[in-house]
């Protein structure tokens, strides 16, 4: 059972999210918070697996709440936003959020997003990933060589990291490299461990920030 805490300052939004999530047999909405302060208090008390965090709330906003929640080993955070290029979204991802969803997303995307995040996948579409990172990450000039920050990765792991950064799920990476999904999952785990990253979202950021996506494959 996936235990979920909803944090949003609009009661109607919280109610709609709860209705969608409670319809899933393996989801349990254990609480609702109207602002960041309540979200932090309820997360400490209820110990959810995942917090759906509105980015813009009065008092302590979603960004600061995410920073505080993830400063220690806390729940996963899935950011909710009205704007797909909200500058706070990138800051939330830097703080350790596992991804973000637009509030306009259809119910099936919300449900799939929660499952993806809990499975360790990044919740960023390829289009939004590129737009977000191109706007907010200072990218180094193109290079013909693998960035030194990624020197511990094998050639295969570099290939997998590129495909992760392009927004591909494990199934598509497996098909592209003629591997099983289990093998791809193993490569992903090795990448995160070697680079000391929390999840795939941070791997995407590192791939762009180091200039890997500007080097020839």
Average pLDDT over residues 85-110: 77
Mean per-residue pLDDT over the chain, rounded? 82
Average pLDDT over residues 109-129: 73
- Encoded tokens for 93: 């991802």
Q: Which residue has the higher pLDDT, 88 or 168?
A: 168
Identify the structural domains of the chain with CATH numbers, from first to last: 2-123 (3.40.50.2300), 135-214 (3.40.50.2300)
Specify whether the CB–CB gap between 140 and 210 falls below 8 A. Answer: yes
Tell me, what DSSP letter sits at residue 50?
A: E
Question: According to the model, what pLDDT value does residue 117 have?
Answer: 85
Question: According to the model, what pLDDT value does residue 143 have?
Answer: 47
Task: List pLDDT tens digits, range 46-72.
Answer: 999 999 999 888 888 888 888 888 877
Q: Which residue has the higher pLDDT, 129 or 27?
A: 27
Specify whether the CB–CB gap between 91 and 79 falls below 8 A. Answer: no
Cα–Cα nearest to 122, from 32, 47, 13, 197: 197
Whether 6 shows a pLDDT value over 90: the answer reads yes
Average pLDDT over residues 98-119: 85
Taking the model in full, what pTM does it have? 0.68
Q: Give the separation between CA 22 and CA 15, rounded to whole angstroms.
A: 10
- Encoded tokens for 114: 């929660």
Task: List pLDDT tens digits, range 133-176.
Answer: 555 555 555 444 566 778 899 999 999 999 988 878 888 899 99
- The HSE-up count of residue 160 (CA atoms within 13 Å, CB side) is 26
Q: Where are the beta strands (DSSP E) in the chain?
A: 2-7, 27-33, 50-54, 76-81, 100-102
Instruction: Residue count of the chain, please give it.
Output: 217
């Amino acid at each position: 059972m996936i235990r979920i805490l909803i944090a949003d300052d609009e009661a109607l939004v919280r109610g709609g999210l709860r209705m969608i999530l409670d319809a899933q047999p393996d989801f349990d909405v254990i609480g609702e918070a109207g602002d960041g302060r309540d979200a932090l208090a309820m997360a400490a008390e209820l110990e959810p697996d995942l917090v759906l965090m509105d980015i813009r709330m009065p008092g302590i906003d979603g960004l600061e709440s995410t920073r505080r929640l993830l400063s220690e080993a806390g729940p996963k955070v899935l950011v909710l936003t009205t704007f797909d290029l909200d500058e706070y979204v990138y800051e939330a991802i830097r703080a350790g959020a596992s991804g973000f969803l637009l509030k306009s997303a259809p119910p099936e995307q919300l449900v799939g997003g929660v499952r993806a995040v809990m499975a360790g996948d990044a919740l960023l579409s390829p289009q939004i990933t590129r737009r977000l990172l191109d706007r907010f990450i200072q990218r180094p000039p193109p290079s013909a060589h693998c960035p030194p920050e990624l020197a511990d990765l094998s050639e295969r792991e570099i290939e997998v990291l590129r495909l992760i950064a392009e927004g591909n799920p494990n199934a598509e990476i497996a098909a592209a490299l003629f591997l099983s999904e289990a093998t791809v999952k193993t490569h992903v785990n090795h990448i995160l461990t070697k680079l000391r990253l929390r999840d795939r979202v941070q791997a995407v950021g590192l791939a762009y920030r180091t200039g890997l996506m500007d080097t020839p494959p």
